[in-house]
Chains A and B, each alone.
Chain A
Amino acid sequence: MTNHDPAFNPNITSVPVREARLGSVVAYEGTAADLARRSRDGSLRERPRTFTEAGSCASSCAICLLSLIPDAAVVNHAPLGCAGDFTQFNAVNRFGRVKRGLPPANAHLLSTNLRENEAVFGGLARLEETVREAHARFAPKAIFITASCTSAITGEDSDSVAEKLEREFGIPIATVACEGFRSRLWTTGFDAAYHAILRKIVKPPRERHPEKINVVTFWGEDVFDDLFTPLGLKANPIVPFAPIDEIARISEAGATVQICSTLGTYLAAGLEERYGVPEVKAPPPYGLSGMDAWMRALGRTVGRQAEVEKVVARERERTAGELAGLRRELKGVRAYVAAGSVHGHSIRAVLGELGIEVVGSSFWHHDPVFDHRDAAADSLLHVVHNYGDTPVSICNKQVYQVVNQLRRLRPDVFIVRHPGMAVWGGKLGIPTFLVEDEHFGLGYRGLLRYGRKIADAVSNPAFFRHLARHTRLPYTDWWFAQRSSAFLGEER
C-alpha cells in the first residue's frame, strides 16, 4: 500500500467508501499484534458475518457531524425513519454548546419526509422544496443534503437541485453520499461529511496562521488551551461548533492534529494534500507514551521541539505521584474494553499505562491504514509496542459476540464507548462504565481522571449485582457454548 492515489478528489461527489479506500474490515478474531502486522503487510481480509445484529449507518455519522456546525443546515433526503437520530443529535448539540459556553439551541435539521409517492415517482421536487424551507427557516451559511438508502436507490440527481439552489441562494449547498447501504463501515459517513466540507466549504488559504492548529474533534470538552498556550499555539477545534466562515479558513492553519484518526483521517489528509496543511502523524494522545509521542510529533511539525520537551517534563512530573498511587490501587484489576477503532486503542493505552490487565477487547471496525498511509500514526502498533499483545475482536458492535466473550472472561470492569453497548456488561453483573466525552482520558491529566473513574467503578458494584440477579439475557445456552467467532466465515 505504498503507491496510492490522493485521498481527496474534488471532482467526484461521492467519497470512496472505507473498505475500498483503506481496506477496512468489520470482522476479525485474533490478537492485536497479528492484526497490526496484517494491517501493515496488506494481508488483512474481511470475513463475512452471517448472523448479524443491528449496526449503525453512515448517514448517522454524517448528520451528526454536520448538524453541529452552528450556522449550517442539514437536509436529510429520506423517509422520516432516517431522521430517527435527530433527537439524539439535537441533544448532543445542546449539550456540546453549553460545554463550550454557548446558549443551548436546537440543531438546524430538516427531513424531506419521503413517502410512497416520492419513492415511486421521484423526490427531487420534495428535495427542492425542503432546501428552500431550510434556507428560509434557518438562514444558514451553507446547506448539506444527506442521502439515504431510499434517495440513493431511486437514483435521482440531487446534485442538480443543489447546484441550482446554490446559484439562487449564493451559499454553498453540498450533497453528502452517506446512504447506509453503501458501506459496511458507518465511519464512511464521517468521510462523506468531510468530503462535502473539503469540496464546498474550505477555501484556498489567503494567508497562513502557523500558530493555529486544527484539532479534529467530536463534541468533547475543549481541553487544548492548557496544552497549546505554553507552546505559543492556538487550538482550533473542528468541525463541531465551528462556524462556516471559520471552517472555510482551516486551510490557513499551521498543522492538523487528530484525537482519533478514525474520525479525522479523511479531512486531515485532504487538507495536507490540497492546501499543504501538515497532518501531525502520531499515535493518539492517550496514555503517557501516546501523549509524549503526539506532543513531540506536533513539536516537530511546527518547530516547537524545545517548548514541547518542557511541557512533557513538567506534566510528567506533575502527574507522577498520583499515577503511582493509582497504579497501586488498580493493581490486579482485569478489564475488557469495547469501543470504536482508534478510540478503543486509546482506552487500551490508558489501561496499559495504569497497569490494568486487558483480558479482551472489541473494536467496532479496523482501518489497516489511514488516508496518509504513515505507520507513525498506527495506533494499534503503538499499543502493541508499548503495552504488549491483547486478544482482539473486530465485532461491528455485535452484542452477541461481546456478551459471549464477557461471560467467559468475567473481567472486573467493562469499559465501553458507544451508546447501547454498556448495558450488556451491566446485565452480566460486571461493573461497567461509558465515558461519552472522548477527551475525558486525553493527555496527562486525562490519564489520572480515567484511572480515578475506574477505581470508582470497581469500588461499589451494588447496582450491577442487583441488575445481574434480576435480568435474563436474550441468548441461548447453545450460543454460550460456541466460540464468539462462530458466525464468521472464511476470509475473502
Chain B
Amino acid sequence: MNAIGQPRQFCALGGQQTVAAIERALPIIHAGPGCSNKIFGALAHCNGFQGSGYAGGNAIPSTNATETEVVFGGEQRLREVIDGALQVMDGDLFVVLTGCTADLVGDDVPAVVAEYRRRGAPILHVSTGGFKGYANWGHEQVVLAIIDQLLEPAPRQERLVNVWSVLPYQDPFWAGNLQALGDLLRSIGLTPNLLFGHASGGIAAWRKIPAAALNLVVSPWPGLDVAQRLEDRFGTPWLHQPVLPIGAVETSAFLRAVGTFAHIDVEPVVEREEARFYHYLDRSADFFLEMRWDLPSRFSCVADSFYSIGASRFLANELGLLPGPQFVTDNPPEEHQATLRALFETLPGKPAVHFTQDSGQIADVLRAAADADHHPLILGSSWDRDLARELDGFHLSVSLPANNRLVLDRAYAGYAGGLRLMEDIYTGILAKY
C-alpha cells in the first residue's frame, strides 16, 4: 500500500526548514507557488507552532512557478529572484532548493547558481524535488550540499565535536534537544558544534566542521551519510550512538560511550546527574506506585526513528512499562531497518515493529492489539488523538506533526529530558480525569 493518510514525513523540500534553522542562512525556493508555504505549515507551524523565525514562513524567496516556467523553463525566473534576494534579504548564506516543477522541467540550477558564485555571492544549490524523497532525505541533501559546496579543510581543534542528531523543525523539540545534547557534551569537557538553532554560530560554525575531532551521530540513522562524507573529505572519525538518550539509563550509557571514545572519565558527571535524576523519581515514587492501577499497561510509539527508539527504551528500561506494537514513521531506508529492529528486540516482550506512516495501517494494528481491560499509551503525533480516545487510551504528541502543543525550548533528550517526558505523559493522563 502506497497511499498515505495523515502524513508524518512530507517531502524533500522540507530541507528549506533545515536552512531556516541555520542562523542567518536563507532558503530560496525554485518551485510552484504553494510549495514553500505548505512545507512551512507542515514542518513548522503545525508542528509545535514553530514560527517564521528570522526569515522563514512567508518571507522565504520563491520563484512561484507558473505555466510559463513549466513550459519554457524557469532559469530566467530563478535569476530574477536570486537578484532580488541578494539585494533585499539580509543573510550570510543563500541556499537554492528546487521543487517538483523545476526538477521535472529540468532547469539547470547548478549552472545558474554557479554564475552567482563566480561573482562572489554566498549561494549554494540543492535538488529537493518532492517526488525524490521525504523530508529527512531533503534535510540530508541540504547538509551534504553545504559540505560539498562550502567547506574547506581546517586545522583540527582537539575538543570540537560536530553534533548530528535530531532534525531541525522535523523534530518539534529539536531546539531544546540540541541544546541538551550540547550541555551534556560540555559537562564532560567537550566543545559541541551544534550547527542549528539559537546561538549556534551560523555559517562560521559550519566552516568549523572540518576542524572537529569527532562527528557524533546521535541518531538511529539520519546523519550517517553525513558522517561518512566528512570522513571521506576531511578524515574526521565518527561515533554512532543510535539511541536518542532520554532519562538516566540511556544518557549515562551515551556519556560513557563518548567518554571512552574521547578518553574522558565521565563517572563524576554520571554520578552527579544520576543522583539528581533519581532524587525526583524517588520523591514521586508514591505517585508511580499508588496510581499504577490506572496507568497505561502497554505503550506504543508512533513516531520517527528518534522517538520510537528513544522513548520506547526510556519507557521500558527506565520506567518499567511494557511495549505494545511500535511504529517507525519516517521511512528508514531498507539497509537501516534491521539495525532498528535489533534495537527494539532488546526491549522486554520483543514488541512487533511496523515501518509505516499511514494512519490506516497504524489504526488497524492498534485496534487489533486493543484489550478492553487496559489503557494503551500512544506517544505519537496529533493525528493519533482520535484513535487514543477510541481505544480509551492516553496520548502525547512527540513527533511530526504535533499541532496540539506549543513548543518553545522543551527538550526530551538527556537526564532532565527524561523528567520532562514523565511530567508530560502523566500530566496528560491526570488531565483526562
Give A residues with C-beta under 8 Å from B: 50-60, 75, 78-88, 90-91, 104-106, 109-116, 118-119, 126, 129-130, 133-134, 137, 148-150, 153-154, 179-184, 186, 397, 399-400, 419-421, 423-424, 472-476, 478-479, 487
Contacts and interface: CB of A to CB of B under 8 A. Distances in A.
A462 B294 CA distance: 44
Most chain A Cβ neighbours within 10 Å, of B26, B41, B89, B383? B41
Interface string B106-137: 00000000000000000000000111101000
B38 A82 contact: yes
Interface in B33-71: 33-43, 45-47, 51-52, 54-55, 57-67, 69-70
Return the 3 tightest CB-CB contacts between A and B, nearest first.
A51-B84, A57-B34, A81-B11
B158 interface: no
B7 A83 contact: yes
B90 to A, nearest CB: 5
B259 interface: no
7 contacts: A56-B33, A79-B129, A81-B130, A113-B3, A184-B66, A400-B88, A478-B88
A124 B383 CA distance: 28
Given A112-B3, A130-B2, A475-B90, 19 more contacts: A52-B81, A53-B58, A54-B36, A55-B34, A55-B37, A80-B10, A81-B11, A81-B42, A113-B4, A116-B131, A149-B104, A180-B34, A181-B69, A181-B101, A419-B41, A420-B45, A424-B52, A474-B26, A476-B87
A54 B67 contact: no
A393 to B, nearest CB: 15
A57 B87 contact: no
A149 B403 contact: no
B131 A114 contact: yes
A90 B403 CA distance: 10
B348 interface: no
B218 interface: no
B237 interface: no
A479 B87 CA distance: 7
Nearest to B87: A478
Contacts, number: 251
A145 B39 CA distance: 21
Interface in B1-38: 1-7, 9-14, 26, 29, 32-38
B105 interface: yes
Contacts of B59: 53-54, 399-400, 424, 474
Contacts of B57: 54, 399, 420, 423
B10 A399 contact: no
B66 A479 contact: no
A50 B32 contact: no
B130 A110 contact: no
A84 B10 contact: yes
Contacts of B45: 88, 419-420
Contacts of B132: 115-116
A58 B9 contact: no
A109 B5 contact: yes
B326 interface: no
B10 A81 contact: yes
B390 to A, nearest CB: 11
A79 B7 CA distance: 11
Contacts of A475: 88-90
Contacts of A60: 34, 37-38
A110 B2 CA distance: 10
Given A81-B130, A153-B105, A51 B6 contact: no
B87 to A, nearest CB: 6
B162 to A, nearest CB: 26
Most chain B Cβ neighbours within 10 Å, of A78, A81, A130, A134? A81
Contacts of B168: none
Contacts of A184: 33, 64, 66
A88 B7 CA distance: 12
Interface of B: 1-7, 9-14, 26, 29, 32-43, 45-47, 51-52, 54-55, 57-67, 69-70, 80-81, 83-85, 87-91, 99-101, 104-105, 129-132, 134, 359-360, 382-383, 386, 401, 403
A56 B40 CA distance: 11
Most chain B Cβ neighbours within 10 Å, of A58, A82, A137? A82
A58 B38 CA distance: 12
Contacts of B61: 51-54
A114 to B, nearest CB: 5
Contacts of A58: 34
B7 A111 contact: yes
Contacts of B14: 81
A118 B9 CA distance: 18
B83 A397 contact: no
A55 B32 CA distance: 9
Contacts of B100: 79, 81, 119, 148-150, 153
Given A51-B61, A55-B64, A87 B83 contact: no
B39 A153 contact: no
Most chain A Cβ neighbours within 10 Å, of B5, B40, B91? B5
Contacts of B51: 423
Nearest to B34: A57
Nearest to A480: B88
B13 A81 contact: yes
B37 A52 contact: no
A423 B57 CA distance: 10
Contacts of A116: 131-132
A55 B65 CA distance: 10
A51 B88 contact: yes
A440 to B, nearest CB: 21
A263 to B, nearest CB: 18
B39 A84 contact: yes
A475 B40 CA distance: 20
A114 B132 CA distance: 9
B14 to A, nearest CB: 7
A399 B58 contact: yes
Given A106-B386, A474-B90, A129 B83 contact: no
A479 B88 CA distance: 5
A87 B52 CA distance: 17
Contact of A81 (B38, B46, B63): B38
Contact of B46 (A88, A105, A150): A88
B36 to A, nearest CB: 4
Nearest to A60: B34
Contacts of A81: 10-14, 35, 38-39, 42, 99-100, 130
A110 B4 contact: yes
A423 B63 contact: no
Given A110-B3, A423-B57, A181 B33 contact: yes
Contacts of A114: 131
B366 to A, nearest CB: 15
B352 to A, nearest CB: 22
Given A81-B10, A110-B3, A129-B2, A181 B66 contact: yes
Contact of A86 (B7, B11, B35, B80): B7
Nearest to B64: A55
A158 B263 CA distance: 62
A30 to B, nearest CB: 22
Nearest to A137: B360
Given A53-B62, A423-B57, A87 B40 contact: no
Nearest to A118: B131
